[in-house]
């Protein structure tokens, strides 16, 4: 496989491949990121939810401190710059697994800023960027068919 990549690059010397990979992780915390509901996969539908999860009017999310600790540990392990100030925002969109129609995210101002490291081989340069933001992901939709 690697031989094919190098021969392709030989044929197109001005071509620069750019490949991005986004990885999502679920942290092993007892509760969810913005409420005290169990962070547990499985179980009956709609049993690990509360008014905060579904975005009822007047409910306010509270950030899980253990999530912040885990994010800081990731930042230290990957040599990221840890910002002194961050914030969360609502990203509004309709998604079937998101009953409140918004996602709470650090998309614009992440806690961990990118760090860059380079790896070189004979003809391929690999540039690795690592950054992380905390966000509430969608729930799981199950259909009975």
On average, the pLDDT of the chain sits at: 77
Q: What is the reported pLDDT for 55?
A: 85
Helix and strand counts by DSSP (H, E) for the chain: 2, 5
Q: What is the DSSP string of 15-45?
A: ---------------SB-SSSSSB--S-SST
In a domain, 10, yes or no: no
Digit-coded pLDDT (tens) for 11-24: 887 877 677 777 77
In a domain, 19, yes or no: no
Q: Does residue 104 lie within any of the structural domains?
A: yes
The answer, yes or no, to whether residue 131 has pLDDT greater than 80, is no
pLDDT band at 65 (very low <50, low <70, confident <90, very high): very high
Weakest mean pLDDT among 1-5, 45-49, 100-104: 1-5
Mean pLDDT of 95-110: 78
Residue 18 lies in a domain: no
In a domain, 73, yes or no: yes
Q: Give the domain extent around 50.
A: 29-132
Is residue 120 in some structural domain? yes
In a domain, 140, yes or no: no
Which residues face 105 on adjacent strands? 89, 135
Pull the structure tokens for residue 9: 């690059």
Does the pLDDT at position 106 exceed 60? yes
Rounded CA gap, 49 and 20, in Å? 33
Put simply, whether the predicted model's pTM sits higher than 0.85 gets the answer no
Query: How many domains does the chain fold into?
Result: 1
CB 33 within 8 A of CB 106: no
By percentage, how much of the chain surpasses pLDDT 70? 75
Residue 103 within any structural domain of the chain: yes
């Amino acid at each position: 496989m690697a031989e094919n990549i190098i021969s392709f690059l030989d044929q197109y010397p001005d071509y620069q491949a750019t490949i991005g990979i986004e990885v999502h992780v679920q942290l092993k915390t007892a509760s969810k990121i913005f409420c005290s509901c169990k962070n547990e996969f499985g179980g009956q539908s709609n049993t690990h939810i509360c008014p905060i999860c579904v975005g009822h009017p007047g409910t306010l999310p509270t950030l899980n401190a253990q999530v912040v600790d885990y994010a800081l540990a990731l930042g230290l392990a990957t040599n990221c710059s840890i910002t002194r100030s961050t914030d969360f925002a609502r990203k509004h969109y309709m998604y079937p697994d998101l009953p409140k129609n918004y996602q709470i995210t650090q998309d614009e101002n992440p806690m961990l800023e990118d760090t860059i490291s380079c790896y070189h081989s004979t003809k391929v340069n690999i540039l690795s960027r690592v950054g992380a933001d905390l966000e509430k992901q969608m729930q799981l939709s199950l259909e009975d068919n």
